Structure 1
């Protein structure tokens, strides 16, 4: 099966240079990353030289709509993709499956997710040397939490319920319900934890 010889030939060539993180994310922390263009530019000539084709096949796609902190819509896309690495010499192939994730405020989410899947399929199949850990996308989105904060009356009711517990089982059940209702409200969670710990010594 010549496909493995072709993959190894591409690996050998990439082992000498790798693909470094030359791009900078200008949002958020400003980290370095490797874009899909860097991958294409590095491996495309080698694929042609060694008679290796990479053919994608999307197995599934999932889309969740979220809200940004600015109030706009964000589309969170996940794709499951198989890539057939096919040798042009004898038609032998090896299939690699990866997942791609991306978030976008417009119509580019699926494109970005496909690019991510391809990029990491290439990095893993060819063992391409990199400078450090796997990178994220070039764009950073801040997602608004859809879990509401706990209002003061509800918090007061839960605190009173915790303080009135007379058994460990009742305390555990009441606290679990309370902390679940608090969601992402960190301040409410701290007060509930403190009340639970205080009552724990009394039951």
Structure 2
């Protein structure tokens, strides 16, 4: 006898009895799983039970467009954009109304240390997020998006995921801005020469009417133009770099303002 036969005999049973009591594994595996929606009865506020691609199409029809109404204006740079909060606040109520849920299922993040133009240490995060878009009937769409962010503390990953969510909603929603098409105008690129001379920057730095805020902006412009080390004749007739002149004049005026 084998082990199974000995065990059955010790219990006063036969192997045939055990086989009768326990159905074969193949019969158990072939049993259909219960349908979780079988007993579902829609309520008055529930979305229509349509496939996920149709529900997402209805979301797109309702959102239509999101304009670039937010503005970045700092350090001589100015542009309009659509922020994360604006996009989520627009899509959130509409997806809820049509029974759409969005879940991050995997996040692949890469990090590197970097510094700003002012020498501040930052942590850069690049996150590739895989999203699961679930429809009202439970069927799904899988999508991916990527976001980048800089942070000096521990918020880089969260910021990068937020950017990835904005990208997902705008791109998968094909959400226009209704702004002017960038291809409707054409600008010929000219020679990449500085728009101003080192002497003109020197004159503006030495001008007593130039504010401290403008002096900071000049430093940023000179850095972009790679003119920080350009030497000019200062107010005493000595040669001095534009960077050194600007910093000295800024410090002198800051002290005089106290």
> What interval of TM-score do these two structures reach, taking the shorter chain for normalisation?
0.5 to 0.7
Residues 122-166 of structure 1 deviation map (CA, whole Å, 9 limit, x = unaligned)? 0111111123689xxxxxxxxxxxxxxxxxxxxxxxxxxxxxxxx
Displaced runs of 4 or more, over 6 A: none
Shift of the alpha carbon at 1:107? Answer: 2.1
Q: Aligned-pair RMSD on alpha carbons?
A: 2.2
- Answer yes or no: is the 8 Å Cα contact 1:14–1:129 preserved in 2: no
- Structure showing greater radius of gyration is 2
Residues 50-84 of structure 1 deviation map (CA, whole Å, 9 limit, x = unaligned)? 00001112331111001222222111100010111
CA distance 1:112–1:21, shift in 2 (3 Å): same
- What CA distance in whole angstroms lies between the structure 2 residues aligned with 1:132 and 1:117? 25
SS of the residue corresponding to residue 30 of structure 1 reads strand
- What CA distance in whole angstroms lies between the structure 1 residues aligned with 2:153 and 2:100? 34
- What CA distance in whole angstroms lies between the structure 2 residues aligned with 1:76 and 1:133? 32
Hey, what does 1:9 align to over in structure 2?
A: 58
Shift of the alpha carbon at 1:27? Answer: 2.1
CA distance 1:52–1:77, shift in 2 (3 Å): same
SS of the residue corresponding to residue 133 of structure 2 reads strand
- Show the 5 A alignment for 1:100-179: 100-130=147-177, 131=179
- What CA distance in whole angstroms lies between the structure 1 residues aligned with 2:181 and 2:100? 27
CA distance 1:85–1:21, shift in 2 (3 Å): same
> Paired residue for 1:23, among 59, 65, 70?
70
- What CA distance in whole angstroms lies between the structure 1 residues aligned with 2:130 and 2:90? 21
Question: Comparing both chains, which one has the higher relative contact order based on Cα–Cα distances under 8 Å and sequence gaps of 6 or more?
Answer: 1
CA distance 1:100–1:9, shift in 2 (3 Å): same
- What CA distance in whole angstroms lies between the structure 1 residues aligned with 2:73 and 2:162? 20
Residues 1-24 of structure 1 deviation map (CA, whole Å, 9 limit, x = unaligned)? 700011100011122xx1111111
5+ residue gaps, structure 2: 1-49, 183-225, 227-258
Aligned length: 133
